[in-house]
Amino acid sequence: MLRMEHKILIAASAEQIWPWLLQLGTGRAGWYSYDWIDNFAKNSFQYIEPDLQSLNLEDTVNGFKLVEKIENQKLVFQISSWLNFTYYLKERARGTELQATLQVKGPRLLLMPTLGLAHDIMQRKQLKEIQKRVERPFSAACERNKKAILLKLKEVLGTKFQRVFEVGAGTGQHALYFTNHMCNLHWTPADIASNLEGIDSWVKHAPQSQVAKPYLFDLNSPKIPDIKFDAIYSANVLHIVEKNKTEFLIDLLPKILNESGIVLFYGPFNYNGSYTSDTNQKFDQWLKSRDPESGIRDFEWLSEKMQARGFYLENDFAMPANNRFLVFQRNA
């Protein structure tokens, strides 16, 4: 029996690495190796695709049957009885070790002098590429909410609103995911200086014609973009920044948006002075323990401020996890 083992230490938890393994495969997210060889020259995904996270025992990926699965720890694929391929995750002091093991037995061992060298090269590349993807700045919240938000963006933006300015892009995960699923978007991710490098580590893999270089936008000393946008999008920002900065942002919206543009706010909001859930109340208390000026905003207060700046509420959509997706239209 021949056994080939490769390892790499990744500065992340097993839970962060696991989704990248679940979506492996040609015709899926790719193999994260030399795509011109094993993925028909199509780039392997640079993002986690929620629709590819269901991988069950007996499922087949490019001829490999999944014969063992231990959540966040182990995947074992098999071709007949002569080849096994295993991914194994083990927590270490400085991160998680990802181990990939190939086992071959029987007469096919005669093929391994050539195939073994090719496998060694491809496997080393794969592990390094997974490491690069996982070690970028990461937001679990972005991963949880991106699919639901994408569905709303498709509904609200359509093909009419194409040029989008994102206030508070965070890691850049949304910018990459949305532009990969909406080919008509032209997205400008914006945030404070300390976040720009992390944003770039994600969006540099987005379609180049669709995503602009991360833009420095700091509410302490904001620089207004030279161009106007069709839409302004901001997710989970209003409850993080101080209330006076939320007002300041609202004041700036007409300077960034074109005359028929829209503003999209995603996040939790209070209604009639009350929390919409116990979890939101606990979240608000946690926010205020960090910064008394932050906290979940009142929907009525926000609507009043937006109306005073020339915007009216067009839609208020309920979203998963007690969040809302607010759409404000600028008065023509």
Q: pLDDT truncated to tens, each residue of the chain (332 aa)? A: 788 999 999 999 999 999 999 999 999 999 999 999 999 999 999 999 999 999 999 999 999 999 999 999 999 999 888 889 999 999 999 999 999 999 988 665 555 566 778 889 999 999 999 999 999 999 999 999 999 999 999 999 999 999 999 999 999 999 999 999 999 999 999 999 999 999 999 999 998 899 999 999 999 999 999 999 999 999 999 999 999 999 999 999 999 999 999 999 999 999 999 999 999 999 999 999 999 999 999 999 999 999 999 999 999 999 999 999 999 999 87
Q: Is 312 helix (H, G, I), strand (E, B) or coil?
A: strand
Amino acid code (one letter) for 30:
G
State the pTM of this model: 0.94
Q: In angstroms, rounded to a whole number, what is the distance separating the alpha carbons of residues 61 and 24? A: 8
The alpha carbon of 324 is separated from its chain's Cα centroid by a whole number of angstroms, namely: 19
- Residue 163 is encoded by which pair of tokens? 């040029």
- Do 274 and 280 meet the contact criterion of CB atoms below 8 Å apart? no
Q: From CA 193, how far away is CA 200, in angstroms rounded? A: 12
Q: What is the DSSP string of 262-286?
A: EEEEEE-EEBTTB-SSHHHHHHHHH
Instruction: Give dist(CA 87, CA 73) in Å, integer.
Output: 8
pLDDT at 82: 84
Tell me the sheet residues that pair with 164. 187, 231
Closest by Cα among 294, 226, 301, 292 to 256: 226
Q: What are phi and psi of 281, to 5 degrees?
A: -65, -45
Q: Identify the structural domains of the chain with CATH numbers, from first to last.
A: 2-134 (3.30.530.20), 140-330 (3.40.50.150)
